[in-house]
Chains A and B, each alone.
Chain A
Amino acid sequence: MSDGRGLLKAMLLPGATFVLFLILWQIAVEYGIAPITVASPSRIAATVIREWDILWFHMEPTLLTAIMGYLAAAVTALCLGFLVYSMRRIESSVLTVGAVLDSIPIIAVAPILIIWMGLSLSTRITITAVICLFPMLISVIQGLNTQPKNAQELFTVLAAGPVQKFRLLALPNALPYIFVGLKIAAPLAVLGALVAEWTGAEWGLGVFMINAMFGLRVDQLWSAVFLACAMSTGAYGLVCLFEYLSVEPGQNPDGGKS
């Protein structure tokens, strides 16, 4: 299915199913089969178009938080990866601490972070970063661990320093693995930004969503959720595009394509 026609043909059936699903959904809402809290696709689309200005006003800070948190997590994961790479002994401790931090519910962490840092943009970015960090960390460390032995010996023979070794050998080799983590974390960044806004913010898609939920403004709620889903799918697609541009084909590790 490498050529365009094949791809088109493969997308035809799921596309048709999706359209059928939308039509059934519309009918179910119009004839009152679905609960009244379900908005029909046409209403959602109309709401998104009609209230685009206010929705965009709320989306902007959410996007900013998601991007900043994502970048912060990526930088942290790379730094920790470098640390682990140069000091192999701390690998299991770093991973254990990471796993434990990841298993503490974020809704428990969020209030604690707010107590410590106050209600601010940096708190929301931190919450986003905390959510994104673990998958990135795992993939960075796994990637750095799978190095071709010959090249490693060559670098040792040539007396390369740890930074040189990291930059020239380990990092390029780890790239396909790192992208696995980056792909998993991209939707999580959007989620992190939403969750951070649920814990407290003045603007943002998360705030808009919660207000619509408590006010039972069904159309607005559905359109906000739709936009949030579109954002996370878009983020995933964007990272896939970056991967396509920066990783040579055939370099993908097994299971790298999820």
Chain B
Amino acid sequence: MTIAGQNPIQITLVRLVNYAAFLVILFLMWAAAIRLFSIPPYLLPGPEAALEALYANAGTIWAAARFTIGCTLAGMAISVTVAIALALAFLLSDGLSRALMPLIIVIRTVPMIAIAPLIIVIFGRGPWNSIGMVALLTFFQIMLGAKKGFTSPTRNTLEMMHTCGAGFWQTLIKVRVPFAIPYIFTGLRIASGSALLCAMFAEWLSGAPGLGALILNAYSAGNFTLMWATTLCSTTAAYLFFTFTIALERFVLNRIG
């Protein structure tokens, strides 16, 4: 579908090299801008200061990153499971689909982050609110992808299965699931870019010990070098997350041919 025929390791490497090159250029421009306009460090610390802070606080940042990434993974796992189950339910029952789909389309116009405060009062201040937010945010994208995928086999294919005497479940496993995988991954890819940032958002509001809370704490403590270091770290994590999703997609698609 996307970059056919390449192997996942190659894609990952290319994307990582691109990102590293981008970071180097960004650092050079960043340092140059600070020298050129003589920006004081309280407005914008230099990249070397941010890297120093990254090194000095590696333990703290790593713990926070682990929390956030764990929540994101758990949230995505829940949302993929529920999304595929619901897409299957829609496939089984046309009435259910007609009853719920218009509502889902309306719900999709609501930005999920806006209801973050609700999730926080419901799930409390632990990891569960991050997990809930991620699941909620990624759910619709993946569900719509799966639904589209399950209905994507052509009529001819389905009729052939019918002629061969295949039942619903056989058709599902042999035809619909392989057809749906690229669509599910498309949904997953779109969702994965924002999933981590969304988890950070939940932490930012709830104060659960992840990257989002770390940025906010660094900001309120006036520790701007730590704030930049964490920002750098979270952007990198979001990028890696997206890259690994693409690599996984490639790996699976290569496997099923």
Contacts and interface: CB of A to CB of B under 8 A. Distances in A.
A191 B205 CA distance: 14
Contact of B95 (A13, A187, A233): A13
B153 interface: no
Contact of B231 (A38, A104, A191): A104
A105 B99 contact: no
A54 interface: no
A105 B238 contact: yes
Interface in B71-112: 95, 98-103, 106, 109-111
A70 to B, nearest CB: 13
A143 to B, nearest CB: 20
Contact of B103 (A17, A38, A191, A194): A17
Interface stretch (B2-10, B154-162, B212-220, B249-257): B212-220
Interface residues of B, number: 42
Given A190-B114, A221-B121, A233-B109, A107 B100 contact: no
B109 A209 contact: no
Given A14-B99, A17-B100, A213-B121, A229 B114 contact: yes
Interface stretch (B59-67, B181-189, B196-204): B196-204
Contacts of B224: 115
Given A116-B43, A225-B115, A105 B231 contact: yes
Interface in B38-82: 42-44
B102 A14 contact: yes
A241 interface: no
Given A13-B95, A13-B99, A216-B121, A108 B106 contact: no
B118 interface: yes
Interface in A93-116: 96, 100, 103-108, 111-112, 115-116
Contacts of A236: 109
Contacts of A195: 113
B122 interface: yes
Contacts of A218: 121
Given A14-B98, A225-B114, A233-B110, A111 B239 contact: no
Given A104-B231, A191-B111, A229-B114, 6 more contacts: A100-B22, A104-B235, A105-B197, A105-B215, A111-B215, A213-B117
Interface of B: 22, 42-44, 95, 98-103, 106, 109-111, 113-115, 117-118, 120-122, 193, 197, 200-201, 204-205, 212, 215-216, 219, 224, 227, 230-231, 234-235, 238-239, 242
Closest 10 CB pairs of A and B: A191-B111, A108-B231, A14-B102, A236-B109, A213-B117, A111-B219, A37-B121, A17-B99, A229-B110, A13-B99
